[in-house]
Amino acid sequence: MQDLLALRDLSSAEVTQLLDLAQTIKQRPSAWQNHLQGKSIALLFEKPSLRTRASFAAGIHRLGGHSIYLDAANLMGSREPAADVGANLALWHDAIVARVFSQATLDELAQASDKPVINALSDICHPCQAMADLLTLTEQLGDLSNVTLTYFGDGNNVCQGLMSGAALVGMTLQIVTPKGYEPDTEALAHAQSVAATNGGSVTLHHDFTDLQQTHAIYTDTWFSMGQERDSNTVMHDFAPFQVNMDLMQQLGASYFMHCLPAYRGREVTAEVIDGPQSLVLHQAENRLHAQNAILVELLAGAKA
């Protein structure tokens, strides 16, 4: 691993290795407290963030490293191209964690930097979230090849990260979206091909018929950052896809997942997200451990 720009760039073995490492770091934190001693990580963010920013900063500190937060909205773009930002940051820092509007910005940063670049969210993928989700499911259910996950909502960056992750570990993933809100066609086809190779499946649905029973249900906000959509149209199109207790029971789901922030009464009811079946805080906690594993692996590769 030189960079982590999209989860689909990894192999199944690399994803499994990261999950194993994340569990090890989580269980034995003291053994890793000096692993990034003397290392500095730049957190370059175009979008606002709670979990990503706070978990990376805390995680880097726990590994013995240092981080600096940079508001990319005031640094990159009209003021200075991403290539110049990436080349300069690589002079002073050992890795760049970038949360951006466009995947093209990540590519430009990575091409200009000889240090690892990590996608902390882009328009096409949220790999750090997906790795935390896989870690959470592993802790709750064990062997992921035996797990069925059903995603309801927008075929956005979170959905596309889940597609890649599920495919790489051989999971069964059912994606249920309103018509017109599907994930990228090529990304879906790629995930379906990889899943088939690993004994899993990724299927796309537009209603609740033909859905098999599931271990967990996942949803996300109906309005993703950076998207311009008519709110009335979105609310109308997504209303039938709200996750509530009836849906949880209909599909036999034991767990509920959401990457947050969540809007109670919209994509999910309070009864579901605040109930005992909710894993949302487990997912949020595991962002730190999954990301620490990514940092350890990338910086180890950078030393080679």
99 included as an active-site residue = yes
3-state secondary structure of 258: strand
Residue 256: both structure tokens together: 């509920």
Q: What is the pLDDT of residue 226?
A: 58
For 101-131, b/e burial (b = at least 16 CB within 10 A) is: bebebbbbbbebbebbbbbbbbbbbbbbbbb
Average pLDDT of the residues of the chain: 96
Whether pLDDT at 118 is above 60: yes
pLDDT score recorded for residue 1: 76
pLDDT digits (tens, 9 = 90+) for 272-281: 999 999 999 9
Residue 105 pLDDT greater than 50, yes or no = yes
Model confidence over 38-69: pLDDT tens digits? Answer: 999 999 999 999 999 999 999 999 999 999 99
Tell me the angle at which helices 280-303 and 12-27 cross, rounded to the nearest 10 degrees: 110
Band of residue 78 on the pLDDT scale cut at 50, 70, 90: confident
Phi and psi angles of residue 69, each rounded to the nearest 5 degrees, phi first: -95, 130
Is 125 annotated as catalytic? no
The answer to whether residue 174 is catalytic is no
CB atoms within 10 A of CB 140: 15
Average pLDDT over residues 125-143: 98
User: Whole-angstrom Cα distance, residue 211 to residue 152?
Assistant: 12
Whether 140 sits among the annotated catalytic residues: the reply is no
Q: Which of 93, 259, 283, 289 is catalytic?
A: 259
| pLDDT range class, residue 77, cuts 50, 70, 90 | confident
pLDDT of the residue at 225 = 62
Question: Over the stretch 167-224, which tens digit does the pLDDT of each residue have?
Answer: 999 999 999 999 999 999 999 999 999 999 999 999 999 999 999 999 999 999 998 7
- Exactly one of 126, 215, 258, 289 is catalytic; name it: 126
Are 187 and 194 spatial neighbours (Cβ–Cβ below 8 Å)?
no
CA distance 176 to 291: 28
10 Å Cβ neighbour count for 21? Answer: 19
Residue 304, pLDDT above cutoff 60? no
Of the listed ranges 56-60, 92-96, 103-107, 297-301, the one predicted with least confidence = 297-301
pLDDT cut 90: percent of the chain above it: 93
Phi, psi of 11 (to 5 degrees): -95, 165
Span 2-29, pLDDT tens digits: 999 999 999 999 999 999 999 999 999 9
Q: What residues have CB less than 8 Å from 292, skipping those under 6 apart?
A: 22, 25, 32, 59, 60, 62, 63
As given in the structure block, the two tokens for residue 162 are 């889940």
Reply yes or no on whether 205 is catalytic: no
pLDDT of residue 228: 64
Tell me the whole-structure pTM to 2 decimals: 0.96
Q: What distance, in Å, lies between the first and last C-alpha atoms of the chain?
A: 11
Based on the residue annotation, tell me whether 37 is a catalytic residue of this protein.
Answer: no
Half-sphere exposure of residue 220: CA atoms within 13 angstroms, side-chain side:
24
CA 297 distance to own-chain centroid? 17
Which 8-state DSSP code applies to residue 255? E
Instruction: Say yes or no to pLDDT of 229 above 80.
Output: no
**Number of Cβ atoms within 10 Å of the Cβ of 146:** 12
Answer positive or negative: Cα dihedral of 69, 75, 76, 77: positive
Amino acid at 191: A
Out of 51, 62, 287, 289, the active site residue is: 287
When pLDDT is cut at 50, 70 and 90, the band that residue 303 belongs to is very low
Catalytic residue among 53, 62, 93, 99: 99
